[in-house]
Amino acid sequence: MKFFIDTANLDEIREANDMGILDGVTTNPSLMAKEGITGADRILKHYVDICNIVDGDVSAEVIATDYAGMIKEGENLASLHPNIVVKIPMIKDGIKAIRYFTDKGIKTNCTLVFSAGQAILAAKAGATYLSPFVGRLDDVSTNGIDLIAQIRLIYDNYMFDTQILAASVRHTMHIIQCAEVGADVMTGPLSSIKGLLNHPLTDIGLQKFLADYAKGNK
Ligand code: G3P
């Protein structure tokens, strides 16, 4: 399973990248705003800054919601760096735009996905990545991981190439559950990734090894 980090914070991206486990980055307009990155020029420069840190796919989201606007914006985003993936919302014009970019060899990430039907449409349009939002489904008493498993089954039935990018991952258990049901990629906050490190027996065991070494090497 590929690990993407879901943030526009450059320090967090650097920290995850320095661990040697980062495969890419996802962002969205809310995450950009959270870092105080506003205005088209600053946002575009920020995408380039991210691409210069990570050697992997970086999702950059269009703001337009009409076909012509998404094409114009997406082409501009794709021209910023070879690793840019154009992130497009799951709407009718979005599906059409995904087909356009697929035919031009430009990678896409279909976002705001909450159902298996939407997942089928995005795969038919040739999306590179599909982003079902696990945490936001959990928020409305619907099991987000179950949707990942359902899409996995459907995509395997038809050998769709679209990669399932489990998004809105909020915590460490989500990552493990995504791996159990076969998500191709997960994107989550740095805290969820670092949570995978933790086990009290590791800490106790390390303390004991170091204490025993110290005893024997006085
Ligand atoms: O990748 C999608 C993500 O940014 C949404 O996460 O936590 O706002 O539901 P969240």
Packed helices 40-53 and 10-18: angle between N→C axes, nearest 10 degrees: 10
Q: Is the CB of 136 under 6 A from ligand 1?
A: yes
Predicted structure pTM score: 0.96
**Parallel, antiparallel, or unpaired for β 129-132 and 163-166?**
parallel
Q: Residue whose CA is closest, atom 5 of ligand 1? A: 168
- What pLDDT was estimated at residue 29? 93
Q: Is the CB of 28 under 6 A from ligand 1?
A: yes
CA 24 to chain centre: 7
How much distance in Å is there from the Cα of 150 to the middle of ligand 1? Answer: 20
- What pLDDT was estimated at residue 218? 85
For each of the chain's 218 residues, which pLDDT tens digit applies?
999 999 999 999 999 999 999 999 999 999 999 999 999 999 999 999 999 999 999 999 999 999 999 999 999 999 999 999 999 999 999 999 999 999 999 999 999 999 999 999 999 999 999 999 999 999 999 999 999 999 999 999 999 999 999 999 999 999 999 999 999 999 999 999 999 999 999 999 999 999 999 999 98
In testing the pocket of ligand 1, which one of 111, 133, 164, 170 has its CB within 8 Å of the most ligand atoms?
A: 133
How much distance in Å is there from the Cα of 27 to the middle of ligand 1? Answer: 9
- What pLDDT was estimated at residue 87? 98
**Exposed / middle / buried, residue 124 (Cβ in 10 Å: 0-12, 13-18, 19+):** middle
What is the rounded CA–CA span in Å between residue 155 and residue 183?
11
Closest to 212 in 3D by CA, of 204, 199, 197: 204
